[in-house]
Amino acid sequence: MHKKLHDKIAQFTDASAIKEKGLYPYFRAIESAQDTEVIIDGKPVLMFGSNSYLGLTGHPYIKEAAISAVNKYGTGCAGSRFLNGTLDIHIELEERLARFVGKESAILFSTGFQVNIGVLSCLTGRNNYILLDEMDHASIIDGSRLSFSRIIKYGHNDMADLERKLRILPKEAVKLIVVDGVFSMEGDFVLLPAIAFLADKYGANIMIDDAHALGVIGVKGSGTASHFNLTNQIDLISGTFSKSLASLGGFVASDSATIDYIKHRARSLIFSASMPPSTVASTLAALDIIEQEPERIIKLWDNTHYAAKLMLAEGFDLGASESPILPIYIRDADKTFLTTKYLQDAGIFVNPIVSPAVPSNSSLIRFSLMATHSFKQIEQAVEKIAKAFRIYNVTSSTYKLEKTPSYHQNIDLPDGRKKVADRQVIL
């Protein structure tokens, strides 16, 4: 390796510094299925760091579907969707997903990350504008950078800031607002009614990434647009299969003309191998369960409300979360790593989130619920987190979930829209 590159790499010491302290919390090897309890280093650990919100990754119906697909189609497609890699079950899944989220058409990608890379890099171009919430997922940020469009960030869920940015843009320009439906670290919902109002007022389009919303909110878990009854006002809905849908891959849904354009322009689609048969079949099977067993979503929300109640009673700072993602703010990176290590040793798996994933003063442990968790497991986890906080002197200011949302400030929503915009869970 040339010395200049070697020297650049040698300057990266973030991981080694944490390893030297014995607190490195990443790439932990799990020796079992992704369930409410997993095995790490031969020991049982309660899993509260998974995105399997409905607890479907080990479901026998889904596993059997994957096995059957391998038996019929083999282990891979040996090419891209554009050329030889399209199977009949790819088309079946696309049609199912389009109906599920209320759009005309959909196209599959091999990962959720590739969806945002491919769609955002091809939809807009020079002299166009992409507006991003500052807390949007990394895939949205990277995809927008590849578009050659001008990228404009606005404050997280700050509708007054978004309006200020939209107001100064040329009326004739293409303007695309791209947002997460449920923000992956903060756990709060996008303020979609206000965004839809502003998009209509200033001639912008809207794309929602529903990675953490599918299977969680909306009619039968169909996502954010459904949750707010705004599906017809959203231009593109994307999502991933690695959360509630218990598989791997992603999709974007829209009108037929837009999907046809993406199919012939998105480089991460055209130049990547297609989803293997087993993951397509797994996703189809997961959709079957989500549509046929709505009680799973109800149980997920029962668990979410119960966990939040216990945590708020302990004085935990949950920020503005209103989803099964509960960010427990510690606001100190060292204490975040210490707490994570203590909890794993005590049999609780959580994810530490520090800068640059969040601002340096907003480090947290990300605690996420599954429909398959029991109340007893939740109680055990909260008790051990509270003990860790006492040991490491973590003090948090309690955030009240009933706090009045602030997104109506300086936004003149018409009568009848304010009630729709209020934060609420709609199953």
Residues with catalytic annotation? 184, 212, 243
Q: Where are the alpha helices (DSSP H) in 124-202?
A: 138-145, 159-167, 192-202
CB 290 within 8 A of CB 221: yes
Helix axes 375-391, 295-313, angle to 10 degrees: 30
Lookup: tokens for 389: 């906080």
Tell me which residue has tokens 């166009």.
Answer: 128
CB 411 within 8 A of CB 163: yes
Lookup: tokens for 342: 């203590």
CB 308 within 8 A of CB 326: yes
Residue 254's contacts (CB-CB under 8 Å, 6 or more residues apart) are 103, 104, 105, 106, 235, 236, 237, 262
Return d(Cα 290, Cα 244) in angstroms, integer.
9
Phi-psi region of 37 (alpha: psi -120 to 50; beta: other; left: phi over 0): beta
Return d(Cα 249, Cα 109) in angstroms, integer.
6
The bridge status of strand 250-254 relative to strand 236-240 is: antiparallel
Residue 371's contacts (CB-CB under 8 Å, 6 or more residues apart) are 53, 54, 55, 296, 297, 299, 300, 303
Return d(Cα 180, Cα 197) in angstroms, integer.
17
Which one-letter amino acid corresponds to residue 199?
Answer: A
What is residue 310's DSSP assignment? H
CB 186 within 8 A of CB 319: yes
CB atoms within 10 A of CB 232: 9
Does an H or E element contain 44, and which? strand 43-47
